[in-house]
Structure 1
Amino acid sequence: MQTKIILTGIEGNLKGQRFEFDSRTTCIIGRSSDCTPKIPDDEYHRTISRYHCFLDINPPNIRVRDFGSLNGTFVNGKKIGQRERHQTPEEAAKQTFPEYDLRDGDEIKLSNTAFKVSVELHSEIEANQPIPVAISSPEVGLKLSENSSNLISIQGYTTLKKLGEGGMGEVYLAQNNKTGEQVALKVTHSQIAPTQRLINLFLREVENTRALNHPNVVKLLEDGYSNETFFFTLEYCNAGSVYDLMNKRRGKLPLDEAIPIILQVLDGLEYAHNADIPYVRLKNGAFGWGKGLVHRDLKPANIFLSNINGKLVAKVGDYGLAKAFDLAGLSGLSMTDKSMGGTVPFMCRQQLLDFKYAKPDVDIWAAAAAFYNMITGTYPRNFTGEKEAYVVILTEPAVPIRRRDPSIPKPLAELLDFALTDNPEIPFKTAAEFKKALENSL
């Protein structure tokens, strides 16, 4: 069964209108032209803010957060957020108001406009596309017990050492016992007991990731699921991540080191945005072949490096895995639960306003933001804590890069400042277009 979240207008000028959400997304209700649902920007609705409240949707779950509006957001008549009368919008922006979990039948009210929340189940059309099997290779199996070295054991692999851990689980260096090849082994522990539908959804996204095969994209090799635990083997990048390299270089990279990296990243993005992908939902609800994957979480920590004959080769990593874990609801977390330290500083307005329909240009913006971060050691926007992070994304432009480092060459600085524009739109629509402009600026 497929779950839908439906907002139906029950009071105000949007009465009778329906807004349906059938998969992971975020949106903002307000009078601004880029909001969904958009409230009319007229005298009757002046008591509703331009960016009034934030919805984080992952069916069947939905959360709402007020953005410090003057007249507040109410759920079933209870106020969940509102700035004090004496506060300015700027003062309210420094506050983070609590989130509220919504359920079927709840009502959200913004001044003279109200919506009813419905959670509906519908039969899901799978067409003739097969569901990926739970374990991609019958020769691979997970042993949840640990060996004498306190390392996870995988049948067919020797686990050599632990490389690290993150929000999805743990990462190990392992060796394929047949080929001798070293791989990165990821073991992810779901925080909830997944249904078969969630497992299928997750594995379908994994199959999309497996379709990517490019020198500048980390290759997914094998995957499996056992005892509520997913595991993957991926191409091992022996020089770590760009984030690791930045730490070795005291927080930032010299231009002659950062430029080859970002050019290769753009090659990887251009390929992935145009690759043939097997499990894409078509307009009739079926699944078929489609074009391209959007990463949605590009950052220095997800750009990996391999030292090949003394040359650093950059590879875009975690393509689709974190997204799949989140889309399938297996993490038990929403976007707003996650730490600002990773995703948020590299997120443009378009991705925050509509996560589900994020287009390749959000990755181009993130690539520009990652490059900015590589060569300055700072983020494009000022996340100082004086404003709530999402309000910063919605209302603050990127800081011109020469304010961070006056030594950045002017042609490059002007290009990056232009690339990091995201209001009203992102100027570069393809990675190839941005790469060409970047090369011309050097």
Structure 2
Amino acid sequence: MIRMDQALEILKSYLMPIWEMLKSLLDSLLLYWDIYMGWLPHSRLVLLCLVLLAILLGLVGLMLLKRRGSKPGKLRTGRDLRKEARWYEKNKEFVRAGELYERIEKYHKAIEMYLAGRSPDRAARVYMERFQDFDKALSVLLENNLYEQAGSLCAQVGDFNRAGEFYEKARKLNSAAEMYEKGKSFGKAAELYEQSGFIEESANCYGLAENFEKAASLYERVWRDALQHLGSDGSQKFKQKFDNLTKRAAFFYKKAGDLKKSAEILEQSGMTRYAVEMYVQAKEFAKAGEGYLKLGDDLKAAEMFDEAGDKQRSAEIRAHYYQKQGQLREAVRYFELAGDYLTAADLYASLGDKKKAGELYLKGGDSRIAAETFYASGEKQKAAEAYETAGNLEMAIGVYQELGDEVKLSELYEKAGRYYEAALAYQKRGLLERALGQLTRIVESDPHYQDALKLAGDILFELGKYAQAFNYYRALAQKKPFDPSNLDLYYRMARIYEQTGQLNYAQSLYQRIYSIDPHFQEVTLRMQELGKRLSSGGMSPGAGATMLGTPTTATGAFRYQVVRELGRGGMGVVYLAKDLNVGRMVAYKVLPEDMKNHPEIVANFIRESESLKELQHPYIVQILDRGQYQGNYFIVMEYVEGEDLKTLAKMSRRVPLRIGIEIFKQLAQALDYAHSKKIVHRDIKPSNIMWTPHQMIKIMDFGLAKLLEEVKTGRTLVSGTPLYMSPEQTLGKPLDHRTDIYSAGVTMYELFCGQPPFTEGDIGYHHIHTPPRAPKELNPEIPDELNKIILKCLAKAPEQRYQNAREIYLELKALER
């Protein structure tokens, strides 16, 4: 028998390793605790509390286990399960009790527990699984408003439409739609799919329900959404899906009878060949034609446009097709049918048929080319008519001259404003009154004015209107000396004196003619007859003098009718007037009153204005006429719509850079042209430059500054506008074209900067001595090169400026590059 001490030793031998292990763990725990938690105050006390807490939790767990052990444990028999079920039932854990009753096959009791535990779905399951009592199961679910579970139950037995109804009541629309679809209630399924946002599924069901219009509409909706993502998703899978959507949408539109819509969807998806076929079925032949063009089938496209009734488009397509094929005869026929007369004309010309080409050029509206083509083919009559249609009257006149067509020549001379030639042509045709009408339209500045006076007198003489004829002859005689070259004029005047009974005047003129040329016409015979009449008591010199009446001008009433005043200033008053001869509006400028006191200067200006009339440039206002009326001198200029640059600058403070450079370029071109004609403006400034709606400048008042200087000062004072005058003009020195370059620089300075370079103090002194502030300082947008151009224009010494305006234009042109 083992003694107690032996037993203790044996126990110690078992426990000592465990103690050593525990002691080692405890030492390690204390070590790590001190390392990591030693910073805590009373750290060992904290550790002790944690150990005690662990022990306490262990005891609590044991107590709970002991209490759990008071309930039935794991049962191994039906009796034990029934006992446990009753325990759960007693403790009102009905669902757990029901589960146990179900395990021991007490199904009615299980159902009772499930219902008591408010789990009717489990009760229904038991009815269904254990008793196969579908109605009872469904009744339980419906009594408890479990429509979703009711739907699931109906689905299990294949009653899909009823399942759909219950799912719909449960607001499970997608599940309901699936059930209806399985139950072949496609219309209902489609509606619910649409409501729940399953558009493609809805479209499919609408199609199955034969609601093709709705199916097509929804497929199109899905198709359009896919169309937006087509560019971002280039996968083959997505492309296949997109193509399938396209075909379905197109198919259902076709089934719905909307063939055009079907075709449009196919076309937008790039399925052009299918789209074309659909367009044909829809009788949308024009659309089909466009599709065939995309497919490269031009002739088929032309057929479609024929079907659509668009013969012109059909002809255009055939024309281009045959042209590409090199079949020009066919091409030109179709171009003509298409109304593309100019292209047809080009082809006829290349084929050598100039006459036909000319006809088509004319029909196509290119009268100039038509005229040239007709002329080249020898069809001069048609060429002349075409030139006339094109408005090229000079060329038309030239051809009619070759043809000798006086009728057309007289009309065209009149239309072209060549009134003297018109009068000659009308005279040649015997239409003397019409000839006189043309002659009265000729102004004194016209180079044919004196010839017109002579011709008017001759016609009136021929008509026996001697008094009127004499007025013209007398006006001409004031300009023609009595010399051998003008004897015919004075002979006619003598004949009129003779015809009107003023025999002494007639005899006096005959004698003067005889003294120069005794053999001139019948002068000797006329002198002899008049001598006899005078010696036999002919009429006295005064007799019949009243027959001549008060002299009238050759042009009749005053030509210009004032409409309204446009403006006034130092250069005079400007009116808008109507030229009654040609029916156009003009600018009518009445020069200052004090010009009446300087007739010699005005006469000099009128002579010089002949050269000003030669200034014909798109950027210079053209002088049309000048003269004197009611004691005032006037100038007639072309009327220009728009605003002057002074007004333009005020409207926008400073002109935009692009527009300003364009104005500067045009100004340089105009000045270069005028200077090449030896004409200097002397008063270039913003208010003398118009800016038209067509974005063109028009320089006004060329030559007037010099005229007013002479009128005001007799060349002793300075004329011009001080803000814009060059230093040499300020000092009264002789001027050349470089003064305009300086003034142009000042003008552009103001446009770009919003003010001239000098605005305060002694302006003249500043122009002569003060360097201008750099434009770029006032307007930082000005490029450096433009800044240099303006400052060079403003150089004080003329030789330091640009020496001609062409240089300015070229440098401005370089800015654009």
State TM-score, norm by structure 1. Answer: 0.55
Q: CA deviation digits over 1:350-403, x for unaligned, max 9?
A: 223344x312121112112211111111112x3312xx2222222111211122
1:295 corresponds in structure 2 to: 681
Letter in 2 for 1:321: L
Q: Aligned equivalents of 1:190 and 1:333: distance in 2?
A: 19
3-state SS of paired residue (1:422): coil
Structure 1: distance between partners of 2:794 and 2:777: 14
Give the Cα separation in 2 of the matches to 1:183 and 1:410: 42
Aligned residue in 2 for 1:136:
445
What are the superposed Cα offsets for residues 314-351 of structure 1, whole Å, 9 maximum, x if unpaired?
Answer: 12211002322322x25889755x7xxx7112122122
- 1:359 aligned counterpart, secondary structure: coil
User: Is structure 2 residue 759 aligned with structure 1 residue 383?
Assistant: yes
Which residue of structure 1 aligns with residue 624 of structure 2? 221
The separation in 2 between residues aligned to 1:254 and 1:197, in whole angstroms, is 46
Change in 2 beyond 3 A, CA 1:424/1:301: closer
**CA separation of 1:331 and 1:306: change in aligned 2, threshold 3 A:** farther
Pair 1:169–1:235, CA change in 2 (3 A): same
Unaligned runs of 5+ in 1: 1-133, 140-153, 276-291
The secondary structure found in structure 2 opposite 1:392 is: helix
After TM superposition, the structure 1 = structure 2 runs for residues 111-150 of structure 1, keeping only pairs within 5 Å, are 136=445
Tell me if 1:230 matches 2:633: yes
**Residue number in structure 2 paired with 1:260:** 662
Q: State the secondary structure of the residue aligned to 2:702.
A: coil
Contact preservation (8 Å) 1:194, 1:330: no
Matches within 5 A, 1:398-409: 398-409=772-783
Is this contact kept in 2: 1:206–1:321, CA < 8 A?
no
Q: Supply the AA of the counterpart residue of 2:792.
A: F
Aligned to 1:318: 701
Partner of 1:346: 724
Distance 1:306 1:406, change over 3 A: closer
Distance 1:392 1:213 in 2: 36
Alpha-carbon distance change, 189 to 228 in structure 1, aligned in 2, over 3 angstroms? farther
Instruction: Determine which of 742, 746, 756 is the counterpart of 1:369.
Output: 746
Which structure has more relative contact order (CA 8 Å, sep 6+)? It is 1
Deviations 1:269-296 (A, max 9, x none): 1111112xxxxxxxxxxxxxxxx11111
Partner residue of 2:805 out of 420, 431, 436: 431
AA aligned to 1:247 is: K
Counterpart of 2:609 in structure 1 is 206
- 8 Å Cα contact 2:789/2:808 also seen in 1: no
In structure 2, C-alpha distance between the alignment counterparts of 1:233 and 1:192, rounded to whole Å: 17
Q: Give the share of equivalent positions with the same residue, in percent.
A: 29
Moved over 3 A (4+): 134-139, 330-336, 423-426
CA distance in 1, matches of 2:774, 2:766: 15
Offset of residue 241 of structure 1: 1.4
Cα distance, 1:305–1:175 mapped onto 2, change above 3 Å: farther
Q: Do the aligned partners of residues 373 and 335 (structure 1) sit closer, same or farther apart at CA in structure 2, a change above 3 Å counting?
A: farther
C-alpha displacement of 1:206: 2.1
**What amino acid is the match of 1:359?**
D
Counterpart contact for 1:304–1:315, Cα < 8 Å = yes
Aligned-partner SS, 2:628: strand
Local SS of the residue matching 1:312: coil
Residue-by-residue CA offset, 1:119-168 (whole Å, 9 max, x unaligned): xxxxxxxxxxxxxxx953689xxxxxxxxxxxxxx922332221110013
Per the alignment, residue 768 of structure 2 pairs with 394
- Matched-pair contact (CA < 8 Å) for 1:361–1:426: no
Point out the structure with the larger strand share. 1
Please report how far the alpha carbon of residue 424 of structure 1 lies from its aligned counterpart in structure 2 after TM superposition: 6.8
Matched, 1:416 2:790: yes
SS at match of 1:406: coil
Post-superposition Cα deviations, 1:210-265, rounded to whole Å, max 9, x if no partner, equal: 2211111110001112454111110111013112222232x321111111112111
Q: Which amino acid aligns with 1:319?
A: F
User: Taking structure 1 as reference, are residues 192 and 318 closer, same or farther at Cα in structure 2, changes over 3 Å only?
Assistant: closer
Q: Distance in 1 between matches of 2:560 and 2:674?
A: 29
Q: 1:156 aligned to 559, 563, 567, which one?
A: 559
SS for the counterpart of 1:160 is strand
SS of equivalent to 1:257:
helix
Aligned residues: 266
Q: Are the equivalent residues in 2 in contact too, given 1:170–1:186 (CA < 8 A)?
A: yes
What letter matches 1:348 in structure 2? S
Residue-by-residue CA offset, 1:98-128 (whole Å, 9 max, x unaligned):
xxxxxxxxxxxxxxxxxxxxxxxxxxxxxxx
Higher Rg: 2
